[in-house]
């Protein structure tokens, strides 16, 4: 009787243990398509006028802004022919978007701000050590504590970067696939020809 009990108990518990061993804990994540990562910084619209549109992280169609609001990474801002808007990030960096401009806010992490500007003119002001990186076509611009006006012309495929204050690094690959890094100083303007992959300082 004792032996039979042991055998029956073993046959009962073994499948239970096997099933329990195969159960995997549910995977949890803090990722949210609606909200940016918790360690990213928030920007806000300081002033605006004219036609300004905003594309949220979860929308496929931009909407016209009626009032000032917060801005987070993963969103986009555009201005119309009479539009102008100033976006500030914790009073440490600001972007002044002129008419007919489009900017994507790719990253607002404390270590680095990243934007994509594929159209129009933006005046960037960076008063902290955190670098601001801007991608326009195949040109990468890095601003560390400086005032810069960047203009991107999609029709002529050119980018113009005028430095008012501070020092700016420009990076691109030329037609020979050679990497180039150029330092642009105050009073200078860097012009990049996307079609021919040529950059010059004026």
**In the structure, what pLDDT confidence band is assigned to residue 31 with cuts at 50, 70 and 90?**
very low
pTM of the model: 0.81
Q: In the predicted model, is pLDDT for residue 32 greater than 70?
A: no
**In the structure, what pLDDT confidence band is assigned to residue 179 with cuts at 50, 70 and 90?**
very high
Q: Stretch 105-132: mean pLDDT, rounded?
A: 94
Specify if 14 maps to a domain. Answer: no
Specify if 9 maps to a domain. Answer: no
Specify if 67 maps to a domain. Answer: yes
| Residue 172 pLDDT | 98
Structural domain that includes position 73: 33-201
C-alpha torsion 116→120→126→131, nearest 10: 20
What rounded mean pLDDT belongs to the chain?
Answer: 88
Q: In the predicted model, is pLDDT for residue 28 greater than 60?
A: no
**In the structure, what pLDDT confidence band is assigned to residue 34 with cuts at 50, 70 and 90?**
low
Matching residue, tokens 């990030």:
89
Specify if 179 maps to a domain. Answer: yes
Specify if 125 maps to a domain. Answer: yes
Total of domains in the chain:
1
154-161 long-range contacts, CB within 8 A, separation 24+: 154/118, 154/119, 157/193, 157/194, 157/195, 158/191, 158/192, 158/193, 158/194, 159/191, 159/192, 159/194, 160/189, 160/190, 160/191, 160/192, 161/189, 161/190, 161/191, 161/192
Given a contact cutoff of 8 angstroms between Cβ atoms, the answer to whether 140 and 159 are in contact is no
DSSP state letter for 72 = -
Specify if 147 maps to a domain. Answer: yes
Specify if 10 maps to a domain. Answer: no
CATH of the domain at 42: 2.60.120.1440
Specify if 79 maps to a domain. Answer: yes
């Amino acid at each position: 009787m004792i032996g039979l009990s042991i055998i029956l108990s073993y046959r009962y518990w073994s499948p239970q243990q096997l099933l329990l061993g195969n159960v995997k804990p549910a995977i949890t994540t803090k990722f949210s398509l609606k909200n940016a990562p918790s360690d990213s910084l928030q920007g806000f619209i300081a002033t605006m006028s004219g036609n300004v549109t905003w594309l949220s992280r979860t929308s496929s169609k931009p909407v016209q802004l009626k009032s000032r609001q917060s801005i987070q990474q993963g969103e986009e801002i555009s201005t119309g022919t009479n539009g102008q808007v100033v976006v500030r990030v914790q009073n440490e960096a600001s972007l002044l978007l002129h008419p007919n401009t489009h900017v994507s806010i790719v990253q607002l992490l404390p270590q680095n701000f990243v934007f994509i500007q594929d159209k129009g003119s933006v005046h960037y002001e960076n008063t902290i050590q955190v670098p601001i990186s801007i991608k326009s076509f195949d040109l990468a611009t890095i601003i560390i504590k400086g005032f810069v006006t960047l203009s991107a012309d999609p029709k002529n495929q050119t980018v113009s970067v005028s430095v008012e204050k501070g020092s700016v690094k420009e990076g691109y690959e030329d037609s020979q696939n050679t990497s180039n890094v150029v330092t642009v100083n105050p009073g200078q303007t860097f012009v990049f020809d996307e079609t021919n992959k040529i950059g010059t300082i004026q």
